[in-house]
Chain A
């Protein structure tokens, strides 16, 4: 099965040095214990911060990238 988008995004963020990849779709903030998990279902990506959902982001939405990155930047402090 092809790698899902959530996993690819998590890997990209880790490559940029924005967070540490700690598992499939799981990122840890560089300077705190905040764990962010990305889960994909159909065209929705749900972002969880320490197990609590921050909402669903649809990558069919043209504002997906902006909203998604703003949420991650807030959670991961970058």
Chain B
């Protein structure tokens, strides 16, 4: 698409701009292009702002100017205006489909109220759209709603309900966010040079906390490369496509080369209130690299211990999650289609569905090379080797050698 010819991250000499300066640079470049009467450059910059920065003030005002109204801000950034409009259309069609199925009595399993079931699916679709999850929208479109979200396991009469499962899921997301905020604070110190080195370890009675710093791929630096450079450092890679396999192979063969899984997705349109979620401390203090790194690891230890005090250990939480999932999955296993298990709030629930995935060992065992070719698609993948040959040393380092933090938590075994 147009717009990719403009790259605010680099100037004419190929020098990188700091990400925080990019907004100002785009506005300056746009003004300069207007002043110079270079309207192809104006168009390129405007397209860039709409496609790459749709949630920025400039992106929003341009989208409003060009499309009448800016797309919903809930849609995640990084999508082009066209993609956002297409997604809105997909949602509209999905809801229409559910409406028609409700009218035909096809959205409930039993004699439940189809209007309520339809409302649940509509709200679940809204949630999926707000997350940019078109795959979930598609699964919800064909789902049927169970009348209740409470289950009991026959063998030991153990009870489980969807709301408890959703609360645990939401709590885990909060813990992940807390942990990620500490990791981001550590990463910021690495980026600013306040933490250097390769590995730091902090031990206390609760366990061992390790920070490892390794060179890694930098998505931002990749995004900053122009389209041509990205192509030059990529190589074509063939990969088998599930859709093509479904289309080209006989149903029997398709079944043989795929594995079936039962998966559970959560819909949390109304977040439950959960007491006891701790606040992560992202202040890292110290007079040298080691002290700052250890300060971050101590914060991680305090956070992990606070979570464990209120919600149990990670292993225990995971075991409980597995047990609940097993009870719900077995209860709906013989329903034979996508099943929406309701929570108390209309906008909450869990979606049980099956998916088939390609089994690469079976593919090579059961299909001829020609058959494999017929179900394969080609995509481009960044090649480190090509990048080393094509890019300057600085560009290569910016792309592949960004120092990245990885945290590891190992609880004390004596616990």
Minimum C-beta distance from A25 to chain B (A): 13
B179, B264, B408, B413: the one contacting A48 at CB < 8 Å is B408
**A contact residues vs B (CB 8 Å cutoff):** 14-18, 30-31, 46, 48-56, 70-71, 73-75, 77-78
Q: Considering the complex, give the chain B residue whose CB is closest to the CB of A19.
A: B357
Are B408 and A74 in contact, CB atoms less than 8 angstroms apart? no
A16, A54, A70, A77: the one contacting B259 at CB < 8 Å is A16
Are B359 and A74 in contact, CB atoms less than 8 angstroms apart? no
Are B135 and A31 in contact, CB atoms less than 8 angstroms apart? yes
Are B361 and A16 in contact, CB atoms less than 8 angstroms apart? yes
A15, A51, A78: the one contacting B261 at CB < 8 Å is A78
Q: Which residues of B contact A74 (CB under 8 A)?
A: 318, 321-322, 325
Minimum C-beta distance from A30 to chain B (A): 7
Q: Tell me the chain B residues, 63-110 only, with Cβ under 8 Å from chain A.
A: none
What is the CA–CA distance of A14 and B357 in the complex, to the nearest angstrom? 10
Q: Considering the complex, give the chain A residue whose CB is closest to the CB of B136.
A: A31
Minimum C-beta distance from A72 to chain B (A): 10
Are B322 and A51 in contact, CB atoms less than 8 angstroms apart? no
Are B315 and A53 in contact, CB atoms less than 8 angstroms apart? yes
Q: Which residues of B contact A70 (CB under 8 A)?
A: 322, 326
Are A46 and B410 in contact, CB atoms less than 8 angstroms apart? yes
Q: Considering the complex, give the chain B residue whose CB is closest to the CB of A78.
A: B261
- 7 A-B contact pairs sorted by A residue (CB < 8 Å): A17-B259, A17-B357, A17-B359, A48-B408, A52-B179, A70-B322, A74-B321
What is the CA–CA distance of A10 and B262 in the complex, to the nearest angstrom? 20
Q: Which residues of B contact A48 (CB under 8 A)?
A: 408
Are B361 and A15 in contact, CB atoms less than 8 angstroms apart? yes
Are A52 and B314 in contact, CB atoms less than 8 angstroms apart? yes
What is the CA–CA distance of A31 and B139 in the complex, to the nearest angstrom? 13
Q: Which residues of A contact B358 (CB under 8 A)?
A: 17
B258, B359, B407, B411: the one contacting A15 at CB < 8 Å is B359
Asked if A50 meets B259 with Cβ closer than 8 Å, knowing A15-B361, A18-B357, A74-B318, the reply is no
Q: Considering the complex, give the chain A residue whose CB is closest to the CB of B410.
A: A53
* Known interface pairs A30-B357, A52-B179, A73-B322; 12 further A-B residue pairs with C-beta atoms within 8 A, sorted by A's residue number: A15-B359, A17-B258, A18-B261, A31-B265, A51-B408, A52-B408, A53-B314, A53-B315, A70-B322, A70-B326, A74-B325, A78-B262
Q: Tell me the chain B residues, 173-214 only, with Cβ under 8 Å from chain A.
A: 176, 179, 207
**The 8 A-B residue pairs with the shortest CB-CB distance in the complex, in nearest-first order:** A17-B357, A74-B322, A78-B261, A55-B315, A15-B361, A52-B409, A53-B410, A52-B314
Q: Which residues of A contact B411 (CB under 8 A)?
A: 53
Complex interface bits, B303-343 against A, C-beta within 8 A gives 1, otherwise 0:
01000000000110010011001100000000000000000
The answer to the question of B263 belonging to the interface, with a C-beta cut-off of 8 Å to chain A, is: yes
Q: Which residues of B contact A17 (CB under 8 A)?
A: 258-259, 357-360
Are B263 and A31 in contact, CB atoms less than 8 angstroms apart? yes
The answer to the question of B389 belonging to the interface, with a C-beta cut-off of 8 Å to chain A, is: no
